[in-house]
């Protein structure tokens, strides 16, 4: 669902602003709205990273989530299972197979697949 026209997402840090407000550029509604996080510590970091998208900026390199058990998950899988993924943040330990802990770039692994769906995760340099 697209944002209303009066909302603005800054390219500098991914903050969400309401341009109807006076001095809107100095008072963001949310500072952590749309940016990619290398380390996922909170549900807010996860949602912000999902909004940012599955490609690194700059460079356009394909990203994937590293889960708590060391497995890989695609952005599509995490989006489709978001409720269960967010529940995993309630656990005190970070080793859950449903909890994203990092975002990484798949540079050269042409055989990397999502542990949850079995779908192939694109790579930057191993494509035909």
4 and 20 both lie in a single domain: yes
42 and 66 both lie in a single domain: yes
| Number of domains making up the chain | 2
The most distant pair of C-alpha atoms in the chain lies apart, rounded to whole Å, by 51
pLDDT tens digits for range 17-60? 999 999 999 999 999 999 999 999 999 999 999 999 999 988 99
Domain that holds residue 13: 1-34
67 and 12 both lie in a single domain: no
φ, ψ of residue 19 in degrees (nearest 5): -70, -5
Q: How many percent of the chain have pLDDT more than 90?
A: 86
State the pLDDT at residue 42: 95
pTM score of the predicted model: 0.90
99 and 43 both lie in a single domain: yes
Over residues 74-81, mean pLDDT: 98
């Amino acid at each position: 669902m697209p944002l209303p026209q009066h909302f603005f997402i800054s390219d500098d840090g991914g903050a969400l602003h309401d341009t109807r407000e006076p001095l809107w550029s100095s008072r963001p509604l949310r500072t952590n709205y749309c940016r990619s996080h290398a380390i996922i510590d909170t549900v807010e970091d996860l949602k912000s990273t999902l909004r940012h998208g599955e490609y690194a900026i700059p460079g356009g390199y394909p990203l994937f989530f590293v889960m708590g058990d060391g497995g890989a998950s695609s952005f599509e899988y995490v989006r489709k299972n978001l409720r269960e993924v967010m529940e995993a943040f309630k656990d005190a330990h970070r080793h859950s197979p449903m909890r994203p802990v990092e975002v990484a770039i798949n540079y050269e692994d042409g055989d990397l697949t999502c542990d949850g769906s079995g779908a192939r995760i694109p790579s930057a340099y191993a494509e035909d």
